[in-house]
Amino acid sequence: MKATFAEKVLAFYRQLGVFSGLPEGIEVLNPYKDGSATYELAARFYEKFYADTASRYLIIGINPGRFGGAVTGVPFTDPKRYIEQCGLEYNGIMTHEPSSVFVYEMIDAFGGPAAFYSQFYINSMFPLALTYKGKNYNYYDSAELSKLLRPAIIKNLKQQISLGTAQDICFCLGKKNYEFLQKLNLEYQFFKEVIPLEHPRYIVQYRSKDKAAFIQKYLRAFHSVGVK
């Protein structure tokens, strides 16, 4: 029997390894160890929304935040959204991730989690949370770090595609993230087209008054590829 999208995602998470030799002060958080509480939370989510073999469009972020995806195991999904929007049980520490608020307002405008996740799959250029001296860090914040992680990012993109994501269009969150992906895409031809969108963190931190306009921009981009 063909593996479901959920089964393939969870197998991908289980094989994520440990990264060493990174610049001083930078740590990688891997919450997906088989049997961990975070892995079990992720399993509930993917088994609810991805228990089929349909293809999805990939939305690629930067790397998970320590208060969102690193807690629930689901990108851009903090505990409150996991409970209230996804309808799943969570008994751990309650954390707040501003990006998750925007993403789920956008998902609600699209038609809700079931409709959205039936057509889209969100992950990251680097699938594990990065911190520098205890604070969120991006893979591109250090030239040394991005160079060290480049092979892992390339491998990660190939794995995300192998899950069953479309290769005609990819949506990319964040300007610097888009620039990095575009360079890789020119070399490896992962996707026919990469569509850039402003990162949720940028929107909530610097353009919160324009949040409704950005939600509509996301929806127009998604509908432009033919999704309903």
Q: Assess whether pLDDT exceeds 70 at residue 4.
A: yes
36 Rama class: left (phi>0) / alpha (psi -120 to 50) / beta? beta
**Per-residue model confidence as pLDDT tens digits over 82-118:** 999 999 999 988 988 899 999 999 999 999 999 999 9
Q: Where are the domains of the chain?
A: 5-223
Separation between Cα atoms, residue 194 and residue 222, nearest integer Å = 12
Separation between Cα atoms, residue 19 and residue 37, nearest integer Å = 21
Residue 134 contacts residue 110 (beta carbons within 8 Å) = no
The confidence band for 69, taking pLDDT boundaries of 50, 70 and 90, is low
The confidence band for 21, taking pLDDT boundaries of 50, 70 and 90, is confident
- Residue 187 has a pLDDT of 97
- Residue 192 has a pLDDT of 97
Separation between Cα atoms, residue 163 and residue 58, nearest integer Å = 10
**Per-residue model confidence as pLDDT tens digits over 113-166:** 999 999 999 999 999 989 998 888 999 999 999 999 999 999 999 999 999 999
Q: Assess whether pLDDT exceeds 70 at residue 216.
A: yes
Residue 48 contacts residue 68 (beta carbons within 8 Å) = no
Q: Which residue has the tokens 């992680």?
A: 149
Any idea of the CA torsion for 124, 62, 45, 33, to the nearest 10 degrees?
70
Architecture of domain 5-223: 3-Layer(aba) Sandwich (3.40)
